[in-house]
A = this chain, B = another copy of it.
Amino acid sequence: MEHLKALIRDVPDFPMPGILFRDVTPLLRDAGGLKHVVDAFTRRYGGQGIDVVAGIESRGFIFGAPLAVALGVGFVPIRKLGKLPADRITREYALEYGTNALEMHRDAVTPGERVLLIDDLLATGGTARAAAELIQELGGQIAEVAFVIELAFLNGRAALPDHSVHALLEY
């Protein structure tokens, strides 16, 4: 998979000074790039009894929705505060300054279902941890937490100690 790194754009000082942003839009723009990522995940998770793919807003939607179609299962969007219209649960998580929150519909996961949680990038792991806690609050079992990119130097896996974590590309 390492050749896919040629399709990841490094943008210095985004969203703030000192941060090197890993931009996946050239990979998405490439006709084979997104398909390559989806195929790699499909090889890993096909036949593993995944019941549903849950993607974190909003880049997690871009990778999670095609993966759900490829696996022949449903897709659940885990959204930012105030976006989901029906009965929902909420989980706050800490940012460097202040807090953020994610939400799921209460009927998005049935107790006992095996859920594959996916996002584009693992940094400190706070967002993925909140998403995993939402799924578990609904009784879902986390089959694995999957990322396209892992910023290994931030040790985000430490925020997900109870879960198997997989990333296609590591920096």
- Residues on A lying within 8 angstroms of B by beta carbon are 9, 11, 14-15, 21, 23, 25-26, 28-31, 33-35, 38, 52, 55, 57-59, 61-63, 65-66, 68-70, 72-77, 79, 82, 84-86, 105, 107-108
Contacts and interface: CB of A to CB of B under 8 A. Distances in A.
B108 A29 contact: yes
The 4 closest A-B pairs by CB, nearest first: A58-B58, A11-B85, A14-B85, A66-B66
A55 to B, nearest CB: 8
Task: Decide if the interface of chain A is mainly helix, strand, loop or mixed.
Answer: mixed
Nearest to A60: B61
Nearest to A21: B85
A23 B76 contact: no
B108 A74 contact: no
Contact of A25 (B9, B11, B59, B105): B105
Contact of A69 (B14, B38, B79): B38
B68 A34 contact: yes
Contacts of A65: 28, 34, 61-63, 65-66
